[in-house]
Structure 1
């Protein structure tokens, strides 16, 4: 339940490049707000100038978010309408804001999302990769060792992997992707909705070569998408695992029937099938 008589916080998605992508609803809410909490007030000031609006702005970013909560609650207590915006796209998606929203929800204030552009969705819909399931990682660790470890942990995910990256780290990221994912398909989306919007496709190594040939492709903000891992044939995997276990048991002089019983209990499958595999393994090594 919202606090009766209080103002509303609107979470407003703003353009990621092309200012014409601002929806009429978002423009009306921004123009009619009593206060706008912006990640960068100068950046958001240019957007307000574009729509001909003059609204008070305060900064809200990762370093001051917690301290801004009391100010925004005070504004809402006065019945004022407040808008939350990030530099581009949908607030809270790899941007600050969740601490504020959590505090307002817990306090019973009304929070209204105003949907619109998102670099994540914009890139996915034009990448040509599976989209029924995907895993969004935001920005991967800046340090190389931590970044590679995270990529290795994700390598077997059977979903499209998505992350954001900045221009000064894109080559390092692609180098790690090449090392971890080899020939896996990767799509780079850069400068989305802007004049020089580009989608590049290929393996990590192929994309590194393209960026080396054309340094201009290293500019701008990137959405990086990696194709899903190939499905594992569980039957084949279980067979390999079972053969290894059977071989180990046989090497310890465990009887064939006992081997089959143990592997069937641990891995499933018919005991008779495991018995036949155990016999074959014993005969091949006998």
Structure 2
């Protein structure tokens, strides 16, 4: 197998990996000794749970976060120059999507190293699938502004896009602020605008529901501490 940068998805919560990851991923994991990860502790736990026969102490981990410099990222990829594959593991879902792993992929592409994305759960794609909204054209905005005025203006701006461009709009929030954002969406968006709340996707308490904003008033479930994606469409 050609030495490559493998982008390794992980479950979105405590879901059994066998429900969301193909067996092929396990074969790839067994063949890699160098991993670029967001958090070493959780990455070690994921690898041990996915392939118990792995000897964790024989692996090399490189931590990736917002403080990691481009020079450090380039160093993390040095095993590829020696014919050794490298794996990228994020905290949840697919690496390099709303994730610092994108910086690693960009460096690998510039250096002409093969980049191989593996199949796994993506809350962004799965929420679009389950929303009933336009899956031909959609935009993911990540986190909305923290400032209240800026956030309200952003909501109005992206809501306009669903009417002018027929484009589904997606965004997320820090879990402990989910309830506040949901309430603000109800206050700010047009009553007829449809809102989909997709929470804890693939987990035991998965919740995905779409209805007009006016029907969410006073009926928003408790979303605190639950990874949630919000989608709006006409």
* TM bucket normalised to smaller: 0.7 to 0.9
1:226 aligns with 2:221: no
Distance 2:78 2:134 in 1: 45
What root-mean-square deviation, in Å, do the aligned CA atoms of Structure 1 and Structure 2 show?
2.2
Which deviates further from its counterpart, 218-227 or 163-172? 163-172
Asked whether the equivalents of residues 186 and 216 of structure 2 are also in contact (C-alpha less than 8 Å), the reply is no
Structure of greater Rg: 1
| Cα distance in 1 for residues equivalent to 2:49 and 2:97 | 24
8 A Cα contact 2:159 2:233, kept in partner: no
Q: What's the counterpart of residue 84 of structure 2?
A: 80
Which structure has the higher relative contact order (CA within 8 Å, separation 6+)? 2
Structure 2 unaligned regions, length at least 5: none
Q: Say whether 1:12 aligns with 2:20.
A: no
The alignment of Structure 1 onto Structure 2 pairs a total of residues equal to 221
Please state if 1:177 is matched with 2:152: no
Aligned to 2:203, what secondary structure does the other structure show? Answer: coil
1:92 to 90, 96, 114: 96
Q: How far off is 1:219 after superposition?
A: 3.4
Among 165, 171, 178, which residue is 2:173 paired with?
165
Return the TM-score normalized by structure 1.
0.70
Q: Which residue of 1 aligns with 2:195?
A: 186
SS of 2:184 mapped into structure 1: helix
The corresponding residue for 2:37 is 38
CA distance in 1, matches of 2:213, 2:152: 14
Structure number having the greater helix percentage: 1
Q: Is the 8 A contact 1:190 1:199 kept in 2?
A: yes
Answer with 62-71 or 164-173: which moved more: 62-71
**CA–CA separation in structure 2 for the residues paired with 1:210 and 1:63:** 40
Question: 1:113 is matched with which residue?
Answer: 117
Candidates 216, 224, 229, aligned match of 1:207: 216
CA distance in 2, matches of 1:45, 1:189: 28
5 Å-filtered alignment, 1:123-272, equals 123-157=127-161, 158-183=166-191, 184-204=193-213, 206-207=215-216, 209-211=218-220, 215=222, 217-228=223-234
Q: Moved runs in structure 1, 4+ residues, more than 6 A? A: none
Gapped regions of structure 1 (runs ≥ 5): 1-5, 229-286
CA contact (8 A) 1:94 1:139 kept: no
